[in-house]
Structure 1
Amino acid sequence: MDNQQLLGLIGRMTLEEKIAQLVQLAAPFYEGVDDEGQITGPMQAMGITDSMIASSGSVLGYAGAAGAIAVQEAHMKKNPHGIPLLFMADIVHGFRTIFPVPLAIGCSWNAELAQKSAEIAAREAAVSGIHVTFAPMVDLVRDPRWGRVMESTGEDPYLNSLFARAFVRGFQGEDLKEETERVAACVKHFAAYGASEAGRDYNTVDLSERQMREYYLPAYKAALEEGCEMVMTSFNTIDGIPASANEKLMRSLLREEWGFDGVLISDWGAVKELIPHGAAEDEREAAYRAIRAGVDIEMMTACYVHELPELVRGGRVDEALVDEAVLRILRLKDKLGLFDNPNRGASPEREAEIVFSREHREAAYELAAQSTVLLKNDGVLPLKPDAKVALIGPFARSGDILGPWSWDGSTEDAVKLDAALAERLGPGNPAVAEGCGIEEGTEEQLREALNAAAAADVIVLALGEASEMSGEAGCRTDIRLPQVQLDLVARIAELGKPTAAVLFNGRPLDLHGMYDRVDAVVEAWFPGSEGGAAVADILIGAVNPSARLTMSFPHSVGQVPVYYNHFNTGRPQGAPDAQVRYVSQYLDAPNEPLLPFGFGLSYTTFEYDGLKLSSDKMTPDSPIAISVNVTNTGSRAGTETVQLYVRDIAGDVVRPVRELKGFVKLDLAPGESGTAVFTLNEEQLRYHHSDLSFKSDPGRFDVFVGRSSADTLNGSFTLI
């Protein structure tokens, strides 16, 4: 349908029918779902009538090809204008085939694999009846206490933007109408939700506009430049105004400045939450402020359907605001081809054929292998082929390795570490014991573990967080491993045997009580459906780890937020003329994180030399080339991620000590050398000035090239 046809359709709708298009309801409201659309409890209290349901616009959180087809067909019979429903769900890092959590995907530094993971998730979701996914989440995060850090790709705006684009390409493809096994993407949470105070979900955000534009907005903008069809409002305030009522953010910046004319949806209940925020006195005021801000779809509250009709008829809200919201929703339905085929890609036959297929699981394995970070290794890994191994810990047999947003994933079908190691190590190896649970343990569990450890040559500890300990509403002030696991580590360490720890978790942890008591540490994150197989292959050396951290691991939670691209301060620690005490530092801990951004080890070693800049001067018309030689000095092939950082020595506003500007992956055989080459131009040196203009400043810049943000070779040039 063209724009005129859609406008004609809107012209035939009553005000109530139009407003009903702006409401998103959960599946139990609809005929055809498994529980036959029974409305109970809190949903009944919403006061949603049959006529509202018949004219409603979208369904939340329902999938399954046969069921989605049944719901859509029943709805089409009741909708007075034959307008199909949009089916939306949180397909964050996989549908049925679960990939590593996004924070882990970021650590792969592999945008191509990230795109492939989104494409596979879209394919499985689309054949199961889903049209829109609430992903990617591109919030920049510097606070590991925040549970939703597992949904982010980390603390760097450049890298987050790269992955934002990759995920959108994977989800949406080139043409949503033609590619029926893709889904529309919804970037979230707009804006700056990752900066929630105290790392607490739903909490306040208080940022300067300059800081927001410099660090937090680039990844959202990158997703929109890639064609992302939807944006979700965040729960937090910005400059004292909740996002779902923030006209400056949503109208002035998102719509007018950035030109976004797609669908804007609230997060769950966020419109009605304007009341407890203190931004609306009642539901009528909440509806007024949200529609004025440009929120097109209200998710799972009913302020619009109850209050907008009278607001329009009373002249307080221009009906044109309702019409433009409906038009955006109908345009998306048309882009997805729903007017031509309301059931779009939903197919029980394709669903049975491709969902959780071997091809998809192989892709999940590959990404899990490339997302697992080797944090420490004092010669214990890889495991020796003839070693007798004891696998001990609450994650030794656990299928809880999918992560908090593994919506349709199965922990039963996840590859467990014990089974994967047994398949690789041979009969009777490894000996397996839990040692304790995630947060509690028994003396019997401990005795069994100690007996297994005593009989082994090497011990592998499988430790971590339960999935519900991170993700939405999974915020923690103590980000160490639970005490019962630390006690287990201490008892195992008393045996004095070679010990490696594998971590399954959704955030950077405070590793005290574990890190110094083991010989090797493998950060597996929540690695997804094939996680056990990928981790096992890293442990035995069939895969050489290549992942690099995209978020710093704190020395202690008291440092948080701790991140690599910080400011220097006027009294930096270690300055040549500084007094020992009166500098910016802690008395009881280092300033630096335990493990910095960009860090990760390999089973081989690499040496850097010969850093060269093609010129010591740059102009707007003459970029410079930066090169460095890298040699594999170890005994096996490996992949090195060579990272380029820049520092602007003096600016209109203070600039970070380092900023990532690019990276190159080199695959090198033993003894082989390669050259990483970067091109750096003036545009990459621009930043937001105090007046919010975006430009560069002439002057000196330092260049850093190396294996992490803290381990580099250095050079400099002048921008003239």
Structure 2
Amino acid sequence: MHARKTAQTALVAFLCLVSCPPLPAFAASVPGDPAPADAADVRIESLLSRMTVEEKAGQLSLFGPADINVPNNPQAGWRNAQQETADVRAGRLTGLFNNAGLEGKRRLQQIAVNESRLGIPLIFGADVIHGFRTMFPMPLAEASSWEPALAERTARAAAVEATADGFRWTFAPMVDIARDARWGRGLEGVGEDVYLAKQFAAARVRGFQGPDLSRPDAMLATPKHFAAYGAAEGGLDYNVSDISERTLREVYLPPFRAALDAGALSVMSAFNEIGGVPSTANPALLTGVLRDEWKFKGFVVSDYTADEELVEHGYAANPREAAKQAFMAGTDVSMQSGLYIRYLPDLVASGEVPMARLDEAVRRVLHVKQKLGLFDDPMRGLDGLPAAQRAENPEFIALAREDARRSIVMLKNERMLLPLPKAGTKIALVGPFAEGTIDLMGAWSLFPGQSAPVGIDQGLRAALGPGSSVNVVRGSGIESALPGGIDAAVAAAKDADVVLLAIGESQKMSGEARSRSDIGIPQAQQDLAEAVAATGKPVVVLLSNGRAMALKGAVRNARAILVTWFLGVQTGNAIADVVFGDFNPSGRLPVSFPQTAGQVPYYYGHKRTGRPTPANAPETAFKTRFVDATNEALYPFGFGLGYSPVRYDSVELSSERMPLAGTLRVRATVTNTGQRDAEEVVQLYIAERAASVTRPVRELKGFRKLNIAPGASEQVEFTLTADDLQFIGRDLKPVVEPGEFDLWVAPSAASGIRKHFVLTRD
């Protein structure tokens, strides 16, 4: 039975869609003990030589804090404080995650260093997703800025705050591509585009880690979830991701590579399977791609109990086999399940896990701890004031406001309804998000000392001038009606000059395990919107959301629409900055907004079909189309408006022919035709007309954010090389093929000035 199962496992690994080319034998990827190169290596090798097998397994075991249960999460591995202390003293764990409070961390670290046999320090990790004490916009919102440098700054601020509370490791950034708006975890990433995701992945790693991991304010970054977690079927969290290897390599792997190239030294495996093999036990991914192809030197940590879940997947017969499968595939550290500390010693004793593989994993973990400076100063970051007692950093609060207002996307502004005048305006602020609420933070707001978000009502009132007023009426709950709520909202609207309708999703409607089959506005809020719109007063929608949404009726038809996402602690002030024109909206969509939920998964870079739908196709034509909707997005990727209109005047190419070893310069002129300064995100797209493998209708290959004075014109230049035209060929290897290309310089993925060039061999 064991031999048959081993043979089946080998066959699955060989046939797994992510193997490219045929995988080397796993044993070949387990190196012998390397010769120590410096003092740090000598220290690590000395420790390895003295460690028991159980102590080695302990260095590969990570747990959440004792005596704390997360409701509805798998309850594996939970221990009381006495067990936790005993495990630290015995060297049975490598660290803890999300354990708030300096006092507890300080006590456990002192035990690890002074009372355990070998004195190996613990590492403390945390889900620092969009801030620690100062909460910034959710990552998807921040991606709307199209400013990776801004994301680097907010990640740096988060690292400074988190390391002051003893955390040296973050389970971020999430770099999963998300093309199905039903999937709730899309709000943790960058959206649907590979190029944009690569820029933000690298920026966030640089921000978290800083210039040197040994600095006290550096946090180890962990790009996640490896791999293709965002491709879950039906947008259903934890579900199967059944994609081709080409799609994996072209779409889902590049952001991980960008993060690792930026210096990340840990990677988190994904919950999902690909091609019948769960990612946490997939040697083709964790060894073939990460180690053999990319030469990754850090360690892989499982997601929360993902190794134990191999049993539920039907991939492992029992927890012992699950530990073996995950570990031999390349998952170095087990999070929360406790499987490694429970089973690795016996698996090594039986010969099923080679000692060389165990030493390899431990060496990786110790190497990262060394890089973080934990051996030299294990109490670093543990000797300050608790987070709740530290004063807010005014620079970080100012950064949060800047980040939030740059994350807002204006989708609609009919007859220039916005910006509103500050003086003499009667505003009805209606909706369940009108007043200060924790929902404005979004998911992953976990840690003590966080300030309550500035409410929309607070931000508006602080900005108003004389003769203006704000009448706040909830009107409805998030998912249920309020007695008399609609009547009160209608009365307020009738008495106002303009209605600001604060609607959307709650904090608990987007995030992990928050998939939605209906990505529209909840019915109670839709009813509220219809009633308010029926008054005839102009309506501005302030949309709180963690995903692209399918808007309809009065929401879709509102005079103005601002996508405000989950903006964090400075929500109200940032919205007021935009509504009253103190900041000209410059955000652009990182995801396409579909017309209906039935269009999802929807993304701009889709493939052609043999029967594309021309603009003038009759409804009865046998073409690629829905019978009840067009194929276009309601609002396309890259779209967004400002208060000053711009015009794309001309696009010039340095040549109509580009040699394979050469470059092509693309120059465009953009003119601000309005009366205010404008910030425009100029986007460069390409498409190859014919290739050995079908190509997307468009692919983003560059963008620039321009500041343009009123009436002025600015030139922007892009340079294309053969690397920009590369794709995964028939043999699943990167290739560049000469041929004809279309090129657009555009304000979104659905518009722009089109040019043509030919890529030649010489």
- TM-score tier (shorter): over 0.9
Q: Give me the whole-angstrom Cα distance separating, in 2, the residues matched to 1:455 and 1:27.
A: 53
Give the Cα–Cα distance (whole angstroms) in 2 for the partners of residues 558 and 46 of structure 1. Answer: 49
Compute the displacement of 1:664 (Å): 1.2
The aligned residue for residue 331 of structure 1 is 367
Residue 47 and residue 210 in structure 1: after superposition, are their counterparts in 2 closer, same or farther (change >3 A)? Answer: farther
Instruction: Report the counterpart of residue 167 of structure 1 in structure 2.
Output: 204
The CA distance in 1 between the partners of 2:406 and 2:617, in whole Å, is 44
- 1:75 corresponds to 2:112: yes
Q: What residue number does 1:414 align with? A: 453
Q: Give the secondary-structure state (helix, strand or coil) at the position aligned to 2:412.
A: strand
What runs of 5+ residues in structure 2 fail to find an aligned partner?
Answer: 1-38, 70-74
The answer to whether the aligner puts 1:673 opposite 2:673 as a matched pair is no
Q: How far apart are 1:291 and its partner, in Å?
A: 1.1
CA contact (8 A) 2:159 2:219 kept: yes
> 2:685 aligns to what?
645
The C-alpha deviation readout for 1:374-404, integer Å capped at 9, x for no partner, is 0111122111232211111101103221111
Name the residue aligned to 2:78: 43
2:318 to 273, 282, 287: 282
Pairwise mapping of residues 113-512 of structure 1 onto structure 2 (< 5 A)? 113-177=150-214, 179-349=215-385, 356-378=392-414, 379-385=416-422, 386-399=424-437, 400-408=439-447, 413-426=452-465, 429-512=469-552
Alpha-carbon distance in 2 for matches of 1:151, 1:252: 27
Q: What is the deviation of 1:117?
A: 0.4
- The answer to whether the Cα contact below 8 Å between 1:635 and 1:670 also exists between their aligned partners in 2 is yes
| Root-mean-square deviation (Å) | 2.1
Q: Aligned partners of 1:718, 1:193: CA distance in 2, in Å?
A: 37
Give the whole-Å Cα distance in 2 for the aligned partners of 1:680 and 1:247. 35
| Per-residue CA distance 1:437-471 (angstroms, 9 max, x = gap) | 11112232222222221111111011111111110
Go from structure 1 to structure 2 and tell me whether the alpha carbon gap of 1:354 and 1:709 turns closer, same or farther (over 3 Å shift): farther
Is 2:61 the partner of 1:26? no
The residue aligned with 1:543 is 583
Distance 1:623 1:497, change over 3 A: same
User: What CA distance in whole angstroms lies between the structure 1 residues aligned with 2:755 and 2:603?
Assistant: 23
Aligned equivalents of 2:616, 2:548: Cα separation in 1: 33
Q: What's the secondary structure of 1:639's corresponding residue?
A: strand
SS at match of 1:160: helix
Q: What's the counterpart of residue 607 of structure 1?
A: 647
Distance 2:630 2:65 in 1: 51
Moved more, 220-229 or 378-387: 378-387
Contact 1:490 1:517 in 2 (8 A): no
User: In the alignment, residue 694 of structure 1 is paired with which amino acid?
Assistant: P
What is the rounded CA distance, in whole Å, between the counterparts of 2:556 and 2:354 in structure 1? 64
Task: Give the distance between the partners of 2:388 and 2:252, measured in 1 at CA.
Answer: 40
Q: Which amino acid aligns with 2:749?
A: S
Structure 2 counterpart of 1:203, which letter?
N
Structure 1 stretch displaced more, 162-171 or 510-519 = 510-519
C-alpha distance in 1, partners of 2:617/2:138? 45
Q: Which residue of 1 aligns with 2:12?
A: none
* TM-score of the aligned structures, taking structure 2 as reference length: 0.90
What is the letter of the counterpart of residue 168 of structure 1? Answer: V
Could you tell me how far apart the structure 1 residues matched to 2:387 and 2:88 are? Answer: 28
SS of residue paired to 1:224: helix
Moved over 4 A (4+): 44-51, 349-355, 409-412, 575-580
Distance 1:426-1:626 versus aligned 2 partners, 3 A rule: same
Contact 1:388 1:458 (C-alpha < 8 Å) held by counterparts? yes
Contact preservation (8 Å) 1:402, 1:411: no
How far is the alpha carbon of 1:48 from its aligned partner?
Answer: 6.6
Matched pairs, number: 711
Q: Is this contact kept in 2: 1:632–1:670, CA < 8 A?
A: yes
Report the 3-state secondary structure (helix = DSSP H, G, I; strand = E; otherwise coil) of the residue aligned with 2:499: strand
Partner of 2:660: 620
Give the AA of the match of 2:491.
N
Could you tell me how far 1:149 is from its partner in structure 2?
Answer: 0.5
> How many angstroms apart in 2 are the aligned matches of 1:346 and 1:711?
53
Whether contact under 8 Å (1:63, 1:125) holds in the other structure is no
Deviating more after overlay: 48-57 vs 65-74? 48-57
SS of the aligned residue for 2:141 comes to: helix
Shift in Å at residue 50 of structure 1? 6.3
Structure 1 residue 152 displacement after superposition: 1.0
Pick closer, same or farther for the CA change 1:126–1:243 going to 2, 3 Å.
same
SS of 1:708's partner is coil
- Of 86, 91, 98, the residue aligned with 2:123 is 86
Cα distance in 2 for residues equivalent to 1:175 and 1:712: 42
Deviates more, 1:248-257 or 1:133-142: 248-257
Residue 682 of structure 1: aligned partner:
722
Report the alpha carbon displacement of residue 77 of structure 1 after superposing the two structures with TM: 3.4
Give yes or no for contact 1:63–1:130 (8 Å, CA) kept in 2. Answer: no
What's the CA shift string for 1:344-401, capped at 9, x where partnerless?
2334249578663111011011011111000111122111232211111101103221
Comparing 64-73 with 536-545, greater Cα deviation is found at 64-73
Q: Does 1:11 align with 2:52?
A: no
Task: Give the 3-state SS of the residue equivalent to 2:239 in structure 1.
Answer: coil
CA distance in 2, matches of 1:254, 1:516: 45
| 3-state SS of paired residue (1:28) | coil
Q: 1:92 & 1:355 partners in 2: Cα distance?
A: 21
> Deviation string for 1:487-522 (max 9, x for gaps)?
000000110011101011111111113433311000
Q: Counterpart amino acid of 2:464?
A: L
Whether the aligned pair in 2 keeps the contact of 1:401 and 1:411 (CA below 8 Å) is no
Q: Which residue of 2 aligns with 1:527?
A: 567
Return the alpha-carbon distance in structure 1 between the equivalents of residues 391 and 549 of structure 2. 33
Distance 1:149 1:260, change over 3 A: same
How many angstroms does 1:564 deviate by?
0.5
| In structure 2, distance between residues paired with 1:98 and 1:611 | 41
Percent identical among aligned pairs is 44
Alignment CA distance shift 1:223-1:89 (3 Å): same
The TM-score normalised by the length of structure 1 is: 0.96
Cα distance, 1:20 vs structure 2: 1.2
Alpha carbons 2:305, 2:334 under 8 Å: kept: yes
**How big is each residue's C-alpha offset from its partner over 1:233-287, in whole Å with a ceiling of 9 and x where there is no partner?**
0000022111111111111111111101201100000010000001100011001
Q: 1:76 offset after TM fit, Å?
A: 2.6
Q: Work out whether residues 48 and 302 of structure 1, in 8 Å CA contact, stay in contact via their aligned partners in 2.
A: no
Query: Which one-letter code corresponds to 2:447 in the other structure?
Result: D
**How far 1:620 sits from its partner (Å)?**
2.5
1:719 counterpart SS class: strand
SS of match in other structure, 1:663: strand
Amino acid at match of 1:162: Q
1:45 is displaced (CA, Å) by 10
**Which residue of the partner structure matches residue 2 of structure 1?**
40
CA separation of 1:562 and 1:324: change in aligned 2, threshold 3 A: same
Mapped partners of 1:239, 1:228: distance in 2: 27
Post-superposition offset of 1:481: 0.8
- Do 2:135 and 2:450's aligned partners in 1 also have CA atoms closer than 8 Å? no
In structure 1, C-alpha distance between the alignment counterparts of 2:249 and 2:646, rounded to whole Å: 37
